[in-house]
Amino acid sequence: MPLPLLEARRLAMGRPVAIIGVGQTKHGRRFDVSYPELVKEAVDAVFEITGIDPGDIDGVVSGTMPSMMEGVALTHFYFADVLRSVGKPIMKTETCGSTGASLAITGYYWVASGMADLVLVVGSEKMNEGDSQATMTTVLEPFYQRYFIAGAPGIFSMQSQEWSVRFGIPEEKIRAAATKLTIDHHKDAFDNPYAHIKKELTEDEVNNARIITYPVRLWDVCPNSDGACAVIFASEDKVRQMDRKPAWIKGVGYSGEEYWFGDSDKVVWQSAIQASREAY
């Protein structure tokens, strides 16, 4: 009898994998650099931090959300030289808003499988060089949803209102919770030297900001940011050869579902529950 999917994935976790270094750029409107130069900042930083020679990297994972966000398709070919991937295996991972996590999972399994000992994983965006709204609109189902949901804010709007109805939560309570999160997150940015927007917000500023898609308001949504991050994943054997304190990966989980809003439960995302079960 075949193993249940969850058990099969648990057994397939493979050998131990650790993160041994992270390089990240300043996020914001990076008109000071080209897209390849932006990626190079992150890649150079992680090699400097770890002391690893780029020639020792076995493979590269690259991803954006999605490529056309920057007006350039197949970006991993556009800046293959700064990824140090010329002559090496390279994978492109692109799963919309979950691309960052998917990149990490791809790099993790590449090492855990035994097919590589050192993998460079790079995520990047240069959103100010493309049309992010036009790109996000094309992500949606083309005949019905594209014309009224118009990207991620439309999904969040419908999800918020469904949540309110299902659980009997007054809209003003949902608004109050969202406002607190927005204020806290912008305040937390002061502790992050790489953050794009650092701003002390008041409740009135958040609550009276213009509506993007009701009840989502301007300060609730993320800005268009340029930035890149590079991470190196290593096998246990490689970690033991280095004088570095690693961050061991204890578990990962992933799951997907169709994005048709109406045919499945988008208030309680079943894919998130499934992925959590796998990871824990």
Residue boundaries of the structural domains of the chain: 5-131+224-279, 137-220
Asked if the model's pLDDT at residue 124 lies above 80, the reply is: yes
How does residue 1 score in pLDDT terms, banded at 50, 70 and 90? very low
Provide φ and ψ at 227, rounded to 5°.
Answer: 180, 165
pTM for the full model? 0.89
- pLDDT confidence of residue 54: 95
Asked if the model's pLDDT at residue 67 lies above 60, the reply is: yes
SS3 call for 74: coil
How does residue 4 score in pLDDT terms, banded at 50, 70 and 90? low
Asked if the model's pLDDT at residue 134 lies above 50, the reply is: yes
SS3 call for 177: helix
Class of domain 5-131+224-279: alpha beta
Asked if the model's pLDDT at residue 66 lies above 70, the reply is: yes
Residue reference for tokens 């045919």: 263
* Whether the Cβ atoms of residue 50 and residue 19 lie closer than 8 Å to each other: no
